[in-house]
Amino acid sequence: MRVFVTGGAGYVGSACLRHLLAEGHEAMAYDNLIQGHAAAIPGDRLIQGDILNREALAEAINGFAPDAVMHFAAATCVGESVEDPDFHYHNNIEGTRTLLNAMRETGVKRLLFSSTCATYGMSLKCPMNEDSPQEPFSPYARTKLTVEWMIRDFAEAYGLGFTLLRYFNAAGASPDGAHGEAHDPESHLIPIVLQVPNGQRESVTVFGRDYPTPDGTCIRDYIHVDDLASAHLLAIQATTADTREVFNIGTGTGASVMDVISACEKATGKTIPQVLGVRRPGDPPALVADPAKLKGVLGWEPQYPTIESVVETAWEWHRKHPRGYRE
Ligand code: UDP
C-alpha cells in the first residue's frame, strides 16, 4: 500500500509511518513541523507543508499518488483549546475540510481518521464501546466529533470509504528507545512522572485524590503507541471505498494515576515523590476502552497489555533522550 500520512512527524503519526515502512508499505508524511519532529521519521519520507494550504496539499497527494490517507494533523492540546478555540476549530475543522477536498480533487477514496475517546461523555460506565453516547467536554474533543460528522457527510455525498479510530491514552516508546513522546510543553502523565527519576523535576503533582475510583485518582487506558500503530495498519487494510467503520483503540484495562507512578518507580528503581494538587478542569474520573470490536473484527491484540510493559519502554526513551528530539 501507499499511504499518505498527515501529521506524520507527530508522536502517533510517526509511529504509524515507521510501522507501515517496517511492514513493507510505502508511506509519506505531510507535516508543518510545528509540533512534529523531522527526526522521528526517515528524511526522504517527509513533505513539509500545512493541511490548510490546499494547493500544496493537493500537489503533495498528487505527487505521491497514495492508495489511502491516514489523517493525524491537528491541534491536540485540550487546555489550549479552551483558551483559543478559534485556533482549534480552524486547524482541525477547516484543515480536515481542506484535506477532504484535496482527496476529492486527486481521487483518493480511503481515509483513516485519528479521533479520540474524549468525544465520549464525562460520567459514563467503563469500559466504553463504540456505541457509547458522545458528549465531548472540551473544545478540542468537540472539533474531533465535528470532524467525524464531516467525514460521514462527505462520504455519503462524494463517495469515500472511512474508518474512525477513537484512541484512549497513547503512551510508551519504541522498545529500542530510539523514538518516543516529546511534547513542548509536556502535559502528559507518564513523561512528567519520568522527569523525576531523570532529575528534571523534584516531584509529580497528582491532580485530585477525591475521584470515585478505588484509590481516588483518575483512571485511564494507556495504550502503547506501537499497538496503536498495528491497529492502524489492520484498519487501513480493511478500509475500502465503501467502508464506514469506527473502532475504539485501547487495551481494555485501566490504570490510575497512582498505578502509573508505581509502575514508573518499578521501571526506574527510584522513589517518586508526589504532591497532592487540585483536580484539573475537564478530567473525567475514568476512561477505559472496550476493545472487543477491534479484536473481533480486525483480529488486533496488544503486545503491551500492562501499564508496566508500556512504562518500561517509555523509560528507555526518556532515559536516553532527556531532551526529546532536541539534541
Ligand atoms: N495527571 C496528573 N498529574 C500530571 C499530569 C496528569 O495527575 O502532572 C493526571 C490527569 O489528571 C489525568 C491523567 O493523569 O487524570 C492522565 O493525564 P494525561 O494528560 O496524560 O492524559 P489525558 O487523560 O488528559 O488525555
Stretch (H or E) spanning 114: strand 110-116
Measured from the CB, is residue 192 less than 6 Å from ligand 1? yes
Atom nearest to 280 CA in ligand 1: 11
Mean pLDDT for each consecutive 10-residue tract of the chain (327 residues)?
Answer: 98 98 98 96 95 97 98 91 94 98 96 95 84 92 97 97 97 95 90 97 97 96 98 98 97 98 98 96 90 98 97 97 87
Ligand 1 pocket, residue 308 CB under 6 Å: no
Catalytic residues: 140
107: phi > 0 → left, psi -120 to 50 → alpha, else beta; which? left
220 lines ligand 1 (CB under 6 A): yes
* pTM confidence score: 0.96
pLDDT score at 313: 98
What was the pLDDT predicted at 121?
A: 76
State the pLDDT at residue 71. Answer: 98
Which residue, 112, 14, 104, 91, is CA-closest to 62? 104
- Domain annotation for the chain: domains and CATH numbers: 2-170+223-249 (3.40.50.720), 171-220+252-287+299-326 (3.90.25.10)
Count Cβ atoms within 10 A of the Cβ of residue 189 and give its class: 0-12 exposed, 13-18 middle, 19 or more buried. buried
From ligand 1's centre to the CA of 66, what distance in Å? 36
Retrieve residue 270's grid coordinates. Answer: 527510584
Query: Do 154 and 95 form a contact (C-beta atoms < 8 A)?
Result: no
Q: What is the pLDDT of residues 116-155, one digit of tens each?
A: 999 997 766 899 999 999 999 889 999 999 999 999 999 9
Q: Hey, what's the torsion of the CAs at 122, 124, 128, 130, to 10 degrees?
A: -80
Q: What pLDDT sits at residue 183?
A: 86
Determine the Cα–Cα distance for residues 47 and 60; give it in Å rounded to an integer. 7
DSSP secondary structure letters along 18-75: HHHHHTT-EEEEEE-SSS--GGGS-GGGEEE--TT-HHHHHHHHHHH--SEEEE--S-
Question: Ligand 1: which residue has its CA nearest to atom 14?
Answer: 189
Determine if ligand 1 sits within 6 Å of the CB of residue 206.
Answer: yes
- Closest-CA residue, ligand 1 atom 6, reads 189
Atom of ligand 1 nearest to the CA of 188: 20
Maximum CA pair distance of the chain?
Answer: 57
pLDDT at position 327 = 66
Give the separation between CA 174 and CA 225, rounded to whole angstroms.
8
Q: Are 29 and 14 in contact (CB under 8 A)?
A: yes
Cα 206 to Cα 1: distance, rounded to the nearest angstrom: 44
Q: What end-to-end distance do the CA atoms of the chain give, in Å? A: 33
What pLDDT shows up at residue 281? Answer: 81
Ligand 1 centroid – CA 183 distance (Å): 14
pLDDT in tens, 190-247: 999 999 999 999 999 999 999 999 999 999 999 999 999 999 999 999 999 999 999 9
Q: Tell me, in angstroms, the distance from the centre of ligand 1 to residue 242's CA.
A: 38
DSSP 222-288: EEEHHHHHHHHHHHHHH--TT-EEEEEES-S--EEHHHHHHHHHHHHTS---EEEEPPPTT--SEE-
Closest approach atom of ligand 1 to CA 192: 8
* Cα separation, 31 vs 53, whole angstroms: 11
User: Could you tell me if the CB of 257 is within 6 A of ligand 1?
Assistant: yes
Q: What's the CA gap between 263 and 265, in Å, rounded?
A: 5
Measured in Å, residue 278 CA sits from the centre of ligand 1 at 12
Q: Which atom in ligand 1 lies closest to the alpha carbon of residue 193?
A: 8
How far is it, in rounded angstroms, from Cα 202 to Cα 72? 34
The finding on whether 320 has its CB within 6 A of some atom of ligand 1 is no
- pLDDT of amino acid 123: 66
What would the grid cell of residue 282 be? 475537564
